[in-house]
Structure 1
């Protein structure tokens, strides 16, 4: 089936659109909002990702998005990836429907140019350089924080597009039990149960969940590679989390945590066997992956001026993919952090930290690959003037890696409250991304001469907040040297002999654009919106980088009476160039409703892709059509 034709669009440049948006912001602010709009106007949420230490969201100089527990519960989304696209503006790539391998593009960067962390620890494959969102469940997550924009000055390699911090549920208060079950089309079903609480100095939280679906064929018929198989490409995933803490004295906590995500997903591919080497798509191709992390931590307030955090963890990302003899790729990651926050004055803080990371990869080549990284980090945050109207944020980091040498990165930014409701902010810094093990060594793809990416970025933003309404607008430019991309090598002259495409460096790439976010609440009605404009280009050729849509918009509206609620979300993705095709624009409409028939019980229903749009997330792949779900949820404390 040929790719759909792109919809005609007006030739308005990103620069003109951004200029108009910034000029219009004060006038349209009641209609736009940041994704933190679900928070009560009387509260100022606390986030960690912007500075590595707790900080009021309103004080952040960086572009930070908070997706809190209520938003996750009430979104009606089918996956972590969908939530990030809707509320944080990430562009989503997926080799088919839910459960299939997913990619994510933040501010036009590659998937492996965004750091993903769970409870402060790096996760993901060191061979692919990305986290397996497709194996995660929303039910195990307490909140998600997204730092949009380069952050190597705090987080080191790979934080070119930003950082995604996922926090699992932590026990507090009296014993609480939550559980849910749901059935959906495509023979889909899911169930989860969680227990949490705190007593006698101990806090505890544990959850288990499972979801299965028969899905549909991930590949479109008559694809160019001969991968199509008419069978249904379903998945099953199981998620386990456990956290235990002990507070022997006020201000001191010891913690243990463990999590495991398992995925068994069927997909379409082909073997090319002798003597004719024609594609054979009949085998049952499977992707079986397990991500496991165990950690121990201590956080203590040693004095009113000094808070220290120590964390050590061991993680495994183990994947077996293919048929009949699946290839195995295993990443083992050991990491340790010692972080200190020093209070210089009531509104000034100095951060000093040391990180050690060891990564090992098996399955890329015959021998185990290994590299070590030691990092030294300094950060500063401060507020000045009446009411702390002026804020300054700075970070400096030195990484020394056994495989690619040393890099020093830094970030400097500031903000100023023009009025009680309007703040202007600016941020500049540099970043880098090291090649993955696949980029360097994968047979018939990797190249040992691949160089690390180096980037320099600047951004300017406005944040507005008044009562239950808030808005933000950010414009940015990120210039990256040696951007690592897939080179299809159509004429066979740019990759080593015998390769069918390879990893390659683009001399210079320019990633620029704008993000507009906002929300407004009137009585029982709340409305939120995110608009993401991206112009990502190879500066040498002027061509757009593949799979980046020039625009993506998401609008959500919910009406909640306390007993029942209804809501809808509309996400539109613009046309995108892909390898070998131009993919057309598409829009997804999701509907949801809940009925709280008892204080602790509610009935939930949703319809995903309600208009039954034909979605081509990447070339020759297809997403699900319309899918209806119905379920029930219990919360001992009530909703």
Structure 2
């Protein structure tokens, strides 16, 4: 049972959230929706300091990437894992086919150090820090924001290496009437996916008032049985299928003076857990049912006019999870757990002199009843002041400064945990050039599995673990704009030059990790987690993108190429000092080319490659480098109304090993049909 003082604290925060009724903003969500960075004030002729919303990170913050999903949906992408491969600094670790488990690393981190969020709310819980990216649907997601580098100050405990935030559309920007879409997808190995969503917006007679009802449903069924190569023989992957479904409904009332909304969702899934190729599990399965309710809102007028607002939220999530493996070699395994998560946030925000500030106050409480971990609870209280300002100078250039800080008090950890992220950027006056630098600190709290795992035949938890800690430095430069390329003299195009858009990004980064949690054998032979690890990760990322109209034709050519150079060193004293961290490649690259028609047709090819990677701490065993070629096409059956998509992964059917002890399914196909109204 949760302690009395924990309950009192949560009740207070929930009550405040109900009064204010709105969510704490994410790094790019609330304020950036109201202040479009493409519509800045005219450049002044003297030095002027202006407030800039702390939530705006995409336009002038190093290490922040934003991915628009519209095109990727049309080509058949279904889950977050499908789209993350395209991003610099992001390494997706697949364990089998596109339906099986997949985790993500950011700049050489561990997967546990990456925080996954939906509209600023963590997707994971304290049972385990791992999140399966193939289980997160793109249903209802408008864009994805990726923070490269420690993001604890932005989103809270867990983002020691970075964060991935899935951002939904803003109800205040919807048009009157009905707007929605439905999409069906078929994939290799008997995978079928269906998504449908509709948004209804009703305008009221009073100016500026509207009610928005948003609903969505998604489901997937997969047999996922396939053959793969192993040691020169063909074997069959079994027990890798499952089914999953979810329903969500949200209602929000928007007025010039306040916003209030309620959102509810139900989801359920069952998946087989096939194990590794060395030790297959033919009967193991995992089931989970989840129910969530969220109340949110805001007092005060938003928009371009600087004004103070008070936003808040309160939510509760209940999930039940069960694991069964009746054929485990050492005897049947059963595990059940029930988790209740309660959150509350209260956020005053507004201008203060030349600064725009935001001061979220939040509480997050978890109560767990687990057959393997026992009855556990955790409460995290936090205050996260943030400030931002912009300085426009006489020559028309502009400096942008932002500071995010956070102080968290986790219980039962008897210490205060600070974190921060500060950045400064400079935008040139007459060139599409930007350069910036940032520093950040972060941490990850040990999860319940690491702390309280009951003694088994092989392992036991460690309740004395300390948080993992990180600190980073980054410098980034971006260039982008239109380059006018006149046609040759006498050419019919001489009077109409070709306009080619070009964008470039180069970033250098370094992150140091301390107190890393590693599982090591104790004197009694049991594997036990300890704070013994240390690492230093340094790297360079470079990307170039271009778009070129093909004369007077309706087609536009696109191209991109990028590479990551990474040095991920294990800094543990002894035999592993300065050894390369397992599964990190020193070199990774990506490239793509495509054509886009004015009516919405698209065709593209892409390549992804990674260098050799060690799989042991001593660097004695390595995985071979690999190259993967993909292709995708989208046909606009009815412009902006219906699209037919097709995609082929691993065109060459290469049997490379992406994760040791897990199979490679080879070539995979996917067909999709999307209809909008």
TM-score range normalised by the length of the shorter chain = 0.7 to 0.9
**Which of 311, 314, 336 in structure 2 is aligned with 1:312?**
314
Is 105-114 or 387-396 further displaced after alignment?
Answer: 387-396
* Alignment TM-score, normalising by the size of structure 1: 0.82
State the shift of 1:251 in Å: 4.5
Alpha-carbon distance in structure 2 between the residues aligned to 1:168 and 1:76: 19
Q: Determine the C-alpha separation between the residues in 1 that align with 2:563 and 2:230.
A: 33
Would the alpha carbon gap of residues 581 and 236 (structure 1) be closer, same or farther in structure 2, given more than 3 Å must change?
A: farther
Cα distance in 1, alignment partners of residues 82 and 428 from structure 2: 35
Distance 1:461 1:107, change over 3 A: same
Distance between the aligned counterparts of 1:376 and 1:437, measured in 2?
24
Could you say which residue in structure 2 is the equivalent of 1:322?
324
1:113 maps to what in 2? 113
Distance 1:527 1:581 in 2: 36
What are the superposed Cα offsets for residues 235-290 of structure 1, whole Å, 9 maximum, x if unpaired? 3222333221111x2152112223344332222249xxxxxxxx985641112234
Residue in structure 2 matched with residue 372 of structure 1 by the alignment: 379
Three-state SS of the structure 2 residue aligned to 1:233 is: coil
Alignment of 1:556 onto 2:592: yes
State the distance in 1 between where 2:352 and 2:452 align. 47
Change (3 A) 1:294 1:190: same
User: 2:489 matched to 1:462?
Assistant: no
Question: What is the rounded CA distance, in whole Å, between the counterparts of 1:340 and 1:496 in structure 2?
Answer: 52
Corresponding residue number in structure 1 for 2:493: none
Counterpart contact for 1:608–1:628, Cα < 8 Å: yes
> Which residue number in structure 2 is paired with residue 343 of structure 1?
351
Give the SS at the match of 1:55.
coil
Asked if the contact 1:364–1:441 (Cα under 8 Å) also holds between the matched residues in 2, the reply is no
Mapping for residues 501-516 of structure 1, pairs under 5 Å? 501-516=527-542
Residues 413-424 of structure 1 aligned to structure 2 (within 5 Å): 413-419=423-429, 420-424=431-435
Matched, 1:393 2:402: yes
Q: 1:596 maps to what in 2? A: 636
Q: Give the Cα separation in 2 of the matches to 1:265 and 1:615.
A: 25
- Give the 3-state SS of the residue equivalent to 2:130 in structure 1: coil
Shift of 1:633: 1.6
In the alignment, structure 1 segments of 5+ residues that lack a partner are 1-42, 271-278, 488-493
How do 1:38-57 residues align onto structure 2 when only pairs under 5 Å count?
A: 44=37, 54-55=55-56, 57=58
Aligned-pair CA distance for 1:364: 6.1
Do the aligned partners of 2:391 and 2:400 also contact (CA within 8 Å) in 1? yes
Distance 1:482 1:97 in 2: 34
The superposition leaves residues 494-540 of structure 1 with CA deviations (integer Å, 9 ceiling, x where unpaired) of 425242x3323334211111222332111212223443332211113
Bigger mean CA offset, 109-118 vs 183-192: 183-192
Q: After superposition, where does 1:556-635 map in structure 2 within 5 Å?
A: 556-563=592-599, 564-579=601-616, 581-599=621-639, 600-635=641-676
Distance 1:332 1:469, change over 3 A: farther
**For residues 51-66 of structure 1, what are the structure 2 equivalents within 5 Å?**
54-55=55-56, 57-58=58-59, 60-66=60-66
Q: What is the CA-CA distance between 1:94 and the residue it aligns to?
A: 3.0
Correspondence for 1:409 among 381, 398, 419? 419
Cα distance change on mapping 1:463 and 1:217 into 2, 3 Å: same
TM-superposed deviation, 1:292: 4.1
Correspondences of 1:256-295 after superposition (within 5 Å): 256-269=262-275, 281=280, 283-295=282-294
> Structure 1 residue 197: deviation in Å?
2.9
Deviations 1:538-559 (A, max 9, x none): 1131112222222222223231
Q: Distance in 2 between matches of 1:234 and 1:159?
A: 31
So what's the TM-score if we normalise by structure 2?
A: 0.78
1:192-271 matches, cutoff 5 A? 192-200=195-203, 201-216=210-225, 230-231=237-238, 233-247=240-254, 249-269=255-275
Summarize the Cα distance change of 1:486–1:470 in structure 2 as closer, same or farther, 3 Å threshold: farther
Could you say which residue in structure 2 is the equivalent of 1:517? 543
Q: Deviations over 1:562-611 (max 9, x none)?
A: 34221122121222222484222222222111222223222222212211
Q: Displacement of 1:457 after TM fit? A: 1.4
User: 1:495 aligned to 522, 532, 543, which one?
Assistant: 522
Distance across 2 between alignment mates of 1:610 and 1:190: 22
Residue ranges of structure 2 left out of the alignment (5+ in a row): 1-35, 40-51, 204-209, 327-332, 483-500, 550-555
Secondary structure at the aligned position of 1:87 is classed as coil
Measure, in 2, the Cα distance between the counterparts of 1:140 and 1:529: 29
- 1:127/1:364 contact within 8 Å kept: no
Find the aligned partners of 1:502 and 1:99 in 2 and give their Cα distance. 31
| Rounded Cα–Cα distance in structure 2 between residues aligned with 1:496 and 1:294 | 47
Rounded to whole Å, the distance in 2 between the matches of 1:343 and 1:283 is 60
Q: Is the 8 A contact 2:314 2:345 kept in 1?
A: yes
Partner of 1:299: 298
RMSD over aligned Cα atoms: 2.7
Equivalent residue number for residue 382 of structure 1: 389
